[in-house]
Amino acid sequence: MTTVPLSLLLRPAARIPGEVARVQQAASALGLEPTATGRATISCRVSQERFAELFGEPAIAVSARAPGRSDAGTPGGFAEAVLPVPAALAEWVESLSVTPPATRH
């Protein structure tokens, strides 16, 4: 099963170790699997089914694109999208978005 990658931008007050752990726990309780943390972000992944339940619509799949004459192509994944922050995360999370496929250079 392919999972949808998400990025949570933390509010400034939540960018401390104890608060980051609380956000990770709250995200896990919603069915989001934290995969990495940065100074101001938490990366997560979620099943396509849970994504649709949480946000009321499916994630939009993006097909891989082979290298062309002027670029290195792109891997498949999901279209970038800014999503509503679930109420359970609103205290700590400023914005939530689908992470688009990486750009190859």
The structure's pTM equals 0.86
Q: Which domain holds residue 90?
A: 3-98
Residue 103 within any structural domain of the chain: no
- What is the token pair recorded at 34? 């934290």
Residue 77 within any structural domain of the chain: yes
Residue 39 within any structural domain of the chain: yes
Residue 22 within any structural domain of the chain: yes
**Cα–Cα nearest to 46, from 2, 78, 100, 89:** 2
Residue 55 within any structural domain of the chain: yes
pLDDT tens-digit series, residues 65-101: 777 777 777 777 898 999 999 999 999 999 999 998 7
Q: Which residues contact residue 90 at a Cβ distance below 8 angstroms, ignoring those fewer than 6 apart? A: none
**How many domains is the chain partitioned into structurally?**
1
Residue 79 within any structural domain of the chain: yes
Residue 105 within any structural domain of the chain: no
Residue 104 within any structural domain of the chain: no
- Distance in angstroms (rounded) separating the CA atoms of residues 61 and 50: 15
